[in-house]
């Protein structure tokens, strides 16, 4: 079978990942502090739009697993300089598999031609096996039938350590949107993004690291915790709760 | 990865944006050129107004970045020349200038520029402005079309002869005269348009019901679209016009069927007006999901006629207030098939047959009559199903009371969670209910 992968990255170890909803003032302070110690991830495009289509089965197997705190998320990510109104319109996309637990994650990321995506979703196109077994797990889920169910869009500013040991991001204008997916075939692309399901009222700060946080980051982390609106589950979980009318469940926790 | 791909941002491996810079200072031009190239753009530089203008006309770029102070002219003049040249007027222009006074900016924008950025520029801001301008240029609205000419009732069909050769035009007019009136001027839509083989028909006086007949040049056999300038022309043309009228009349027949379907509901106080409400709701949802006009039209008609099969069932079963017996339920569940059978031979209604047949299917395969799963059910059908169930929940039924719109959405979200209904369709409905119908335009 033809190899469709244009590029790939792989986590070599589980990464700590904590998310917080904060107000604009806290976000500004966090970004100023991060900018003192870490370089901007993308020099000229600090506010590019990240658009992610999340996949799930028809019986919501991935979401239900994520609610228990242990799931393999499947998602298709695109980056644009201005906010797009459709998904899968470009030449390539990032297909990501993320083993997400309460506080750590493991990710495989493959850049693939957009036109190869429907065949992958139909289970006809395979990806090369990875060391962490995520590709194989994803294939088992895909065999049950998956399709894009929800889209997130946000402006991200990211500060990353040069050795990728830590990363602090701030997501502004985070929106959860519907996506009217027709079928897993090539004629379904590009697919127009539907109406907004919900918007985040503040800024989502994510702190991700592999080993140990340096002292300044540890202090920043504590500051954010002390001043956050609340701690957040993954965007996927929040999006699906809104989609299925289960957002009250999140508030109750 | 190839070289081009390496210079482009992820997710946008398409043709690079081409830019012409008009800048007389070599150092400034070089810095700008490098920065744009680093962001995946193809760049050409003109050192003065004349050279820049020549490059714009030669390359027809996606964007022009224009300095105001140039050695041979000023940037305002170059901008005005670009905007008055039909071949390149559509290209957005951004001024880049050290002149930062309000009057300079206003003058630049009044010359037709899309934006004005002052030097020294910041790369992130400049790129963001470039992106915004390019997006606006890509999304520019197409000019609005003139409204279609009215089509009055006529005793004899009206023909327009658009043949270039005078002799052929006269011959065609003579051949058609016994059965057609010939259009000389005026604005009424014509019933028949005669055109030369290979010519592009002038649609100025046509509408969707105009028959277009191509007059063959050589030995082509006469067919539905082709005819010869001979004694058979008038008969051939008349048949074609009749066929077009028949299609139009089929549309009218659909209106009759809608009347039939809705009159069935009129006898049932629980169903009265239900189809119209379902159709209106489904059309609104389809609009929110960005479906095109053709699909929206199909959805509207399908929603109105989806239960037309009930006309073939005994009224006591259709309007029964209490619980149905298994036999009665079996009968009721045949109405999609009966409806499809009724409409199958009305060719203009072919597009709505899936809605009529499958509007009781469910994504989990638990619906009827075919037990279709998931994406085997077309999106248009999924929209009508949701609108149907939602509207049904809003009215009292013998076995349950009406619920509020918010509660109805929650009930349908529950059905999404059980894998029965399409999540995007219910999300669009929820957005409509949440905002009272004025859903914000997200795109």
| Res B149 pLDDT > 50 | no
In a domain, A138, yes or no: yes
**B288, B291, B424 ranked by CB distance to A179: nearest:** B424
Prediction pTM value = 0.71
Q: Do B5 and A182 touch (CB under 8 A)?
A: no
**B13, B35, B431 ranked by CB distance to A92: nearest:** B13
**A7, A45, A175 ranked by CB distance to B9: nearest:** A45
In a domain, A240, yes or no: yes
Q: Do B364 and A243 touch (CB under 8 A)?
A: no
| Res A81 pLDDT > 50 | yes
Cα separation, A98 vs A103, whole angstroms: 13
Which are the contacts of B235, defined by CB distance < 8 A and separation ≥ 6?
A: B179
Phi, psi (degrees; rounded to nearest 5) at B329: -60, -40
Sheet containing strand B226-227, edge to edge, reads B181-182, B158-162, B192-196, B211-215, B226-227
Residue A158 domain boundaries: 7-252
CA B402 from chain center: how many Å? 36
Give the ipTM of the model, two decimals please.
Answer: 0.89
Average pLDDT of B290-315?
Answer: 89
Alpha-carbon gap: B182 to the closest alpha carbon of chain A (Å): 44
- A118-147 pLDDT per residue, tens: 999 999 999 998 888 999 999 999 999 999
Alpha-carbon gap: A249 to the closest alpha carbon of chain B (Å): 13
DSSP conformation letters of A211-233: S---HHHHHHHHHHHHH-SEE--
| Res B191 pLDDT > 90 | no
Structure token digits, residue A143: 């065999």
- B36-54 pLDDT per residue, tens: 999 889 999 999 999 999 9
> How would you write B12-71 as a 3-class SS string?
CCCCCCEEEEECCCHHHHHHHHHHHHHCCCEEEEECCHHHHHHHHHHHCCCEEEEECECC
Q: How confident is the model at residue B427 (pLDDT cuts 50, 70, 90)?
A: very high
Query: Domain holding A225: CATH number?
Result: 3.20.100.30
| Res B373 pLDDT > 80 | yes
Q: How many domains does chain A have?
A: 1
Predicted local distance difference test score (pLDDT) of residue B50: 93
Whole-Å CA distances, B126 to A174, B93, B116, B375: 24, 13, 10, 44
In a domain, A2, yes or no: no
Q: Do A195 and B9 touch (CB under 8 A)?
A: no
CB B152 within 8 A of CB B188: yes
CB B117 within 8 A of CB B94: yes
CB B342 within 8 A of CB B308: yes
Q: Do B12 and A82 touch (CB under 8 A)?
A: no
**B9, B425, B439 ranked by CB distance to A79: nearest:** B9
Of B133, B128, B138, B136, the closest CA to residue B9 belongs to B128
Which are the contacts of A220, defined by CB distance < 8 A and separation ≥ 6?
A: A30, A33, A34, A168, A207
Residue B359 DSSP code? T
CB A151 within 8 A of CB A50: no
Cα separation, A191 vs A33, whole angstroms: 39
Structure token digits, residue B137: 């240029």
Cα separation, B63 vs B52, whole angstroms: 12
- B52-69 pLDDT per residue, tens: 999 999 999 999 999 999
Q: Do B375 and A184 touch (CB under 8 A)?
A: yes
CB A139 within 8 A of CB A126: yes
Contacts of A92 in chain B (CB under 8 A): 5, 10-11, 13
In a domain, A1, yes or no: no
- B214-244 pLDDT per residue, tens: 888 766 666 667 888 888 888 888 888 887 7
């Amino acid at each position: 079978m033809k190899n469709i992968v244009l590029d790939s990255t792989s986590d070599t170890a589980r990464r700590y990942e904590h998310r917080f909803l904060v107000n604009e003032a806290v976000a500004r302070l966090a970004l100023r502090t991060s900018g003192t110690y870490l370089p901007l991830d993308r020099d000229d495009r600090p506010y590019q739009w990240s658009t992610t289509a999340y996949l799930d089965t028809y019986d919501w197997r991935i979401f239900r697993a994520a609610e228990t705190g242990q799931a393999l998320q499947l998602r298709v990510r695109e980056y644009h300089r201005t906010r797009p109104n459709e998904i899968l319109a470009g030449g390539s996309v990032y297909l990501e598999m993320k083993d997400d637990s309460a506080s750590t994650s493991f990710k495989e990321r493959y850049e693939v031609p957009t036109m190869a995506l429907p065949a992958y979703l139909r289970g006809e196109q395979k990806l090369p096996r990875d060391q962490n077994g995520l590709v194989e797990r994803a294939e088992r889920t895909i065999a049950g039938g998956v399709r894009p169910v929800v889209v997130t869009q946000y402006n991200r500013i990211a500060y990353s350590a040069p050795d990728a040991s830590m990363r602090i991001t701030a997501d502004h204008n985070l929106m959860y949107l519907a996506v009217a997916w027709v079928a897993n075939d090539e004629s379904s692309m590009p697919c127009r993004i539907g109406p907004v399901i919900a918007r985040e009222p503040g800024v989502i700060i994510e702190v991700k690291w592999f080993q140990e946080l340096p002292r300044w980051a540890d202090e920043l982390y504590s500051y954010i915790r002390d001043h956050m609106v609340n701690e957040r589950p993954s965007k996927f979980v929040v999006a699906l709760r809104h989609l299925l009318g289960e957002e009250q469940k999140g508030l109750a926790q | 990865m190839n070289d081009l791909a390496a210079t482009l941002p992820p997710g946008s491996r398409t043709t690079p944006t081409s830019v012409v810079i008009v800048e007389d200072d070599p150092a400034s031009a070089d810095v700008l050129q490098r920065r744009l190239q680093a962001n995946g753009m193809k760049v050409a530089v003109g050192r003065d107004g004349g050279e820049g203008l020549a490059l714009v006309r030669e390359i027809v770029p996606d964007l022009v970045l224009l300095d105001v102070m140039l050695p041979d002219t000023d940037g305002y003049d170059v901008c005005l020349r670009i905007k008055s040249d039909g071949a390149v007027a559509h290209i957005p222009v951004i001024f880049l200038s050290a002149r930062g006074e309000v009057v300079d900016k206003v003058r630049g924008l009044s010359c037709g520029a899309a934006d004005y950025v002052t030097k020294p520029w910041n790369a992130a801001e400049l790129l963001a402005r470039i992106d915004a301008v390019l997006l606006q240029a890509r999304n520019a609205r197409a000019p609005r079309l003139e409204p279609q000419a009215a089509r009055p009732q006529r005793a004899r069909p009206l023909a327009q002869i658009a043949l270039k050769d005078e002799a052929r035009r006269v011959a065609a007019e003579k051949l058609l005269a016994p059965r057609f009136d010939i259009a000389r001027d005026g604005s009424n839509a014509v019933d028949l348009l005669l055109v030369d083989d290979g010519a592009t028909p002038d649609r100025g006086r046509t509408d969707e019901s105009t028959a277009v007949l191509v007059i063959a040049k050589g030995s082509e056999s006469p067919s539905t679209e082709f005819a010869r300038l001979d004694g058979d022309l008038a008969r051939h043309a008349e048949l074609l016009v009749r066929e077009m009228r028949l299609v139009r009349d089929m549309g009218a027949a659909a209106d009759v069927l809608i009347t039939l379907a809705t009159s069935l509901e009129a006898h049932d106080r629980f169903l009265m007006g239900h189809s119209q409400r379902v159709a209106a709701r489904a059309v609104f949802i389809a609009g929110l999901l960005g479906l095109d006009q053709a699909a929206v039209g199909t959805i509207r008609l399908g929603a109105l006629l989806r239960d037309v099969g009930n006309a073939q069932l005994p009224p006591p079963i259709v309007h029964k207030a209490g619980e149905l017996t298994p036999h009665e339920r079996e009968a009721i569940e045949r109405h999609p098939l009966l409806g499809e059978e009724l409409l199958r031979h009305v060719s203009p209604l072919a597009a709505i047959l899936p809605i009529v047949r499958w509007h009781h299917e469910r994504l989990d395969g638990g619906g009827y009559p075919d037990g279709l799963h998931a994406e085997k059910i077309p999106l248009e059908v999924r929209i009508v199903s949701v609108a149907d169930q939602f509207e049904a929940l809003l009215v009292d039924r013998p076995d349950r009371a009406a619920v509020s719109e918010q509660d109805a959405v929650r009930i349908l979200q529950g059905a999404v969670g059980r894998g029965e209904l399409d999540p995007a369709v219910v999300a669009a409905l929820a957005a409509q209910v949440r905002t009272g119908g004025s859903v914000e335009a997200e795109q």
